[in-house]
Amino acid sequence: MAIVDRRIGLLFLGFLGLLAIALLRATYLGAVRAGPLQHAAVTQQVSRVTLPAPRGSITDRNGVELAISQTAYDIAADPYLIKDPLTTTKQLAPLLGSSEATLLPLLSRRHTGFVYLAHLVSGDRAAAISNLHLDGLTMIPQVKRVYPRSWAASQVLGSVGWNDRGLSGVEYRYEAALRGRDGTRRIVNDAIGQPISIDDLRATRPGQPIRLTIDAALQDEVEQVLAGVGAQYSPHGATAIVMNPNTGEILALANWPRINANDPASAPSYANENRAVGFTYEPGSTFKAFTVAGALQDGIVEPRTQFNVPGVLQVADRQIHDAEDHGDEALSVADILRVSSNIGADEIGMRLGASRFDYWVHQFGFGAPTRVDLPGEEQGIVLHSWQYSGSSMGNLPMGQGESVTPMQMATAYSAIANGGILRPPHVVAAVGEKPTQLPPGRRILSPLPASQLRDMLRGVFADGGTASGAAIPGYDMAGKTGTANEVINGQYSSTAYAASFIGFVPASHPKLLVAVMVDRPQGAIFGGSVAAPAFQKIVGWAVPYLGISPR
């Protein structure tokens, strides 16, 4: 009996010891380790998920969608939870658009608990993956930027990066408005990972929509015209701008080579540049209009003022020639513009004088940004009169020696077209429900000199004009051709040229302005033969579409 009592006592003591150990362990876990353990439990059962905000849409002036956001998912995996990597690979590869050889090593990584499999998978494919009920997969909600018209105005719209932030174009310039604010969701899971509570801690705020001044139908036509220029002349690049000269609204802006906005990597890197604002060139004869404008405004010449134009003009150490050889001849200011005489333009510039010529060049906005609402704008290079050399007035008045952008040229010609007011161009009509507030224009020409200049620029389309073949029967048009050697490695090239044309319609009260610039065309070099036909095609399509009646 004593032995039994002793055994019972020992068992009791053993139980007391175990109880004491359990109490000590519970005290340790509840007091000393409470914080870390609670954190571990929360991280295993409670998670916070970021709900990405959809970017605001971008539409044309009529509401046609140019950029939208769609729900997408990043697909990730935990290789520890994937029991059969080979079978999982065979099921996933077709849905992810990936090869089995690429996917299998990712799913077989036993040294990591997380690996990305795909980025921005569409909602349909993500649903198909979810229906496979595969262990170890995670779908992370994201937003995918989609461009419904693919090729239209790609360089204007720009692109977004991996983190859904704008990288270029309107997407970059208006990032703050388009981005919106991400939401936050709290999810509590049970012991087997099933959600038992879902709370939205912060609601998602979508980005604001942006409406452009661009007309999608006109944009498509301009893109097609430039594609034709690219096919025919194989230039290094080309750009075309269509504007309302009275408001500064950009109705179309196209660049060649074209880019598929949904696959920008498929185009050469230089094609991503918006050449309308980022490319600088010497304008050539299109610049002569500003030489004449300054002389008209200063009262130095009138349209019928005669000049004796020699076959060669010596300016310091440089000889100036016209495109075609001729002897001494008398040309009026109007004739000088019509036949695009280099010597005549220089004679007008010399009568104007270096100081006043410099003044007028800067009055028309050259050497400074136009303040267009697009990123990446260059301001060009324009000297001041105190920087001129002895031969500067032999090349500047005819458009050589200064560097400009196509946007600067279109903006300056708009001031001639609208009666003398220089206005900042713009491509955004409204952000959200709020119309874009633009700074007012400033008058740089009186109405009479502007009208006289428009009348003289009609001559370019007349018989003997440099763009007579670009006339459209029944329409009263005005414009100017330009052809200029390009500077390659610091030297004027004898093979690389910039061919351009800028014009407007109707000439008396313009409603439409079109500028075309072709960089290094092959097979033909002159603005009248390369750029003017493109101008004619764009205007020929646009005038009936916009309701601009013949005279």
Comparing 132-146, 287-301, 504-518, the range with the smallest average pLDDT is: 132-146
271-275 long-range contacts, CB within 8 A, separation 24+: 271/155, 271/237, 272/155, 272/159, 272/168, 273/155, 273/237, 273/376, 274/155, 274/156, 274/168, 274/169, 274/239, 274/374, 274/376, 275/155, 275/237, 275/238, 275/239, 275/406, 275/517, 275/519
**3-state DSSP of 209-256:** CEEECCCHHHHHHHHHHHHHHHHHHCCCEEEEEEEECCCCEEEEEEEE
pLDDT at 198: 59
Q: Is the pLDDT of residue 44 over 80?
A: no
CA–CA gap between residue 172 and residue 15 (Å, rounded):
72
Alpha carbon of 509 to those of 296, 523, 541: distances in Å?
Answer: 19, 36, 19
Question: How far apart, in Å, are the Cα atoms of 456 and each of 94, 333, 462, 551?
Answer: 65, 8, 10, 18
pLDDT, tens digit, for every residue of 413-460? 999 999 999 999 999 999 998 998 877 899 999 999 999 999 999 989
Which 3 state secondary structure label does DSSP give 163?
coil
348 pLDDT band, cuts 50/70/90, is: very high
Q: Confidence class of residue 476 from pLDDT cuts 50, 70 and 90?
A: very high
Q: How far is CA 470 from the centre of its chain?
A: 29
pLDDT at position 504 over 70: yes
Contact indicator for 503, 479 with CB cutoff of 8 Å: yes
* pLDDT tens-place string over residues 164-223: 889 999 999 999 999 888 777 666 665 544 556 555 667 778 889 999 999 999 999 999
pLDDT exceeds cutoff 70 at 269: yes
Percent of the chain with pLDDT over 70: 89
Residues 6+ apart with CB under 8 A from 540: 472
Residues 6 or more apart from 15 whose CB is under 8 A from it? none
Identity of the amino acid at 488: I
pLDDT tens per residue, range 220-265:
999 999 999 999 999 999 999 999 999 999 999 999 999 999 988 8
Q: Which class for 187: exposed (0-12), middle (13-18), buried (19 or more C-beta within 10 A)?
A: middle
Mean pLDDT of 331-354: 94
Q: From start to end of 352-490, where are the E strands?
A: 421-422, 428-431, 434-435, 442-443, 478-488
Q: What is the mean pLDDT of residues 456-479?
A: 90
* C-alpha closest to that of 210 among 401, 371, 64, 20: 64
Q: Is the C-alpha dihedral spanning 123, 128, 130, 134 positive or negative?
A: negative
For residues 448 and 41, the model is more confident at 448
Q: Is the dihedral of CA 126, 130, 132, 138 positive or negative?
A: positive
Q: How confident is the model at residue 40 (pLDDT cuts 50, 70, 90)?
A: very low
Q: Using CA atoms, how far apart are residues 239 and 277, in angstroms rounded to an integer?
A: 10
Instruction: Measure CA 250 to chain center.
Output: 13
Q: How confident is the model at residue 530 (pLDDT cuts 50, 70, 90)?
A: very high
Instruction: Return the pLDDT at 194.
Output: 54
More confident residue, 175 or 141: 175
538 vs 439, higher pLDDT: 538
Neighbours of 93 (CB within 10 A): 17
Element (H, E) at 502: strand 491-505
Give DSSP secondary structure letters for 294-319.
HHHHTTS--TT-EEEE-SEEEETTEE
Sequence-distant (6+) residues with CB within 8 A of 299 are: none
148 close to 65: Cβ distance less than 8 angstroms? yes
Rounded mean pLDDT, 57-79:
89
CATH for the stretch 216-545: 3.40.710.10
Q: Is the pLDDT of residue 94 over 70?
A: yes
> By the 8 A CB rule, do 539 and 472 touch?
yes
* Distances from the Cα of 66 to the Cα of 57, 142, 181, 267, 359, angstroms: 8, 20, 22, 19, 41
Residue range 37-59: mean pLDDT, rounded: 68
- pLDDT for res 489: 83
- Range name among 45-59, 308-322, 413-427, 449-463 with the lowest pLDDT average: 45-59
At 185 the three-state DSSP class reads strand
Residue 37 has pLDDT above 50, yes or no: no
Residue 195: per-residue pLDDT: 55
pTM, two decimals, is: 0.85
Phi-psi region of 544 (alpha: psi -120 to 50; beta: other; left: phi over 0): alpha
Contact 482, 266 (CB under 8 A): no
Helical packing angle, 100-107 and 85-96, nearest 10°: 130
Residue 192 pLDDT: 46
* Identity of the highest mean pLDDT range in 100-104, 122-126, 543-547: 543-547
Q: What is the mean pLDDT of residues 266-274?
A: 88
Average pLDDT over residues 18-27: 69
Would you tell me how many other CB atoms lie within 10 Å of the CB of residue 89?
22
184, with CB counted inside 10 A (0-12, 13-18, 19+), is middle
pLDDT at 42 over 60: no
Look up residue 282 and give its two tokens.
């010497």
Average pLDDT of the residues of the chain:
87
Q: What band does 282 get if pLDDT is binned at 50, 70 and 90?
A: very high
Beta partners for residue 65, in sequence order: 59
For 127, the token pair is 């649903």
Helix (H, G, I), strand (E, B) or coil at 329: strand
